[in-house]
Homo-oligomer: A and B are copies of this chain.
Amino acid sequence: MNSYGTLFKVTLYGESHQPSIGVIIDGMPPGIVIDEETIHADLAQRKPGATGTTTRHEDDAFVITAGVFNGRSTGSPIHLMIENKNIRSKDYEHLRQQPRPGHADFVAGIKYQGFQDYRGGGRFSGRLTAALVAAGSFAKMFTPCQITHAITRIGTLTDMSKLDTYLREIAEQGDSVGGIVELKVSGLPVGLGEPFFQKLDAELAKMLFSVPAVKGVEFGTGFAGVNMMGSEFNDVMVNGYGKTKTNHSGGVTGGLSNGNDLIIRVFVKPPSSISKPQDTYDDETKAVKPLVVGGRHDVAIVRRIGIVLENVVAIVLADMYLMDKAYHG
């Protein structure tokens, strides 16, 4: 259940306040140069620090304990581990009885019958995305494509030059905002994906929704396409390689990559943890009453999530690239 992929398989473990989080990458082809700097650079992108992100220090120093030899992949599973340091478990102790609004506290308690490690969000912590990012770094080392992202909206703001001021105001209110991230993938071969049930868009959506805080995914023109006629929406093919004049389909036709850039837009909800007091049910008094969630919070997780989204996309593409090779190689 905590694994993804057919030939490039990622297995994720860890909880926020346990000794470590980590990931096993199974199916990495042998002989690929493992550039640890790439992994460090990717992890650095999701680190807190900019305006609107938490001041909490996350140490993402990792170790690779298997699957790399003489700087290259061996073909055996790779194990990458990140220790959980800088843990302040006390911050969370008092939240057990009053589930935080928007958090998994309540559902986790039901699902795991009270045995979950509730500290710091446990299995549901955004912390886990560090291991996801690292897994994606490996995927990018051998998959022939370029993945980029841009933040197109943060809250009601579209002009990113005013971002710092905007976020500082929200922080002062003890509140948070969401945003929209647009992903672009170039250079992908035609025909990746399977008509059922491993459509390229279906698998990408699955992995994007696996990233905490994602609440919407659309391809190409997406929901806005409801205002278009078929004659307008249809992308006109202009050469023998599948290149189209427009890209309303976002690079996917019939669940397969069609030779154009993948264009995906992702909605990231406002972080649940805010400083403002919020109402929630209190299991002791059986009444709804205000709760103040202490600790250090992200005002806009969307600022840090881009690399996570990029790298889960990379995981999907690596898997599909290897599957394609099995039938065409």
Using CB atoms and an 8 Å cutoff, list the residues of chain A in contact with chain B: 1-4, 6-7, 9-15, 18-22, 24, 26-27, 29-31, 63-70, 72-79, 81, 99, 101-104, 106-108, 110-117, 122-124, 128, 153, 155-156, 170, 173-180, 190-191, 194-199, 201-203, 205-210, 212, 215-223, 225-231, 233-240, 242, 244, 248-250, 253-259, 267, 269-272, 274, 276, 278-281, 283, 286, 288, 322-323, 325-329
Contact = CB atoms under 8 A, between A and B. Distances in A.
Contacts of A220: 215
Contacts of A202: 205-207, 209-210
B254 A107 contact: yes
A27 B63 CA distance: 25
Given A29-B327, A222-B215, A258-B106, A15 B230 contact: no
B253 A106 contact: yes
A118 to B, nearest CB: 9
Contact of A113 (B30, B228, B235): B30
Contacts of A70: 115
B102 A253 contact: yes
Question: Top 10 A-B pairs ranked by shortest CB distance?
Answer: A329-B329, A104-B254, A176-B230, A216-B218, A111-B191, A230-B270, A206-B206, A326-B326, A202-B209, A75-B112
Contacts of A258: 106-107
A30 B221 CA distance: 33
30 contacts: A1-B9, A1-B197, A1-B323, A2-B26, A13-B26, A13-B67, A22-B65, A30-B112, A73-B115, A74-B123, A75-B112, A76-B122, A101-B236, A102-B230, A104-B195, A108-B256, A180-B223, A196-B210, A199-B209, A201-B215, A205-B205, A205-B217, A215-B220, A215-B249, A217-B217, A225-B267, A233-B269, A237-B281, A238-B281, A323-B326
Contacts of A75: 111-113, 115-116, 327
Given A24-B13, A286-B240, A226 B74 contact: no
A216 B215 CA distance: 11
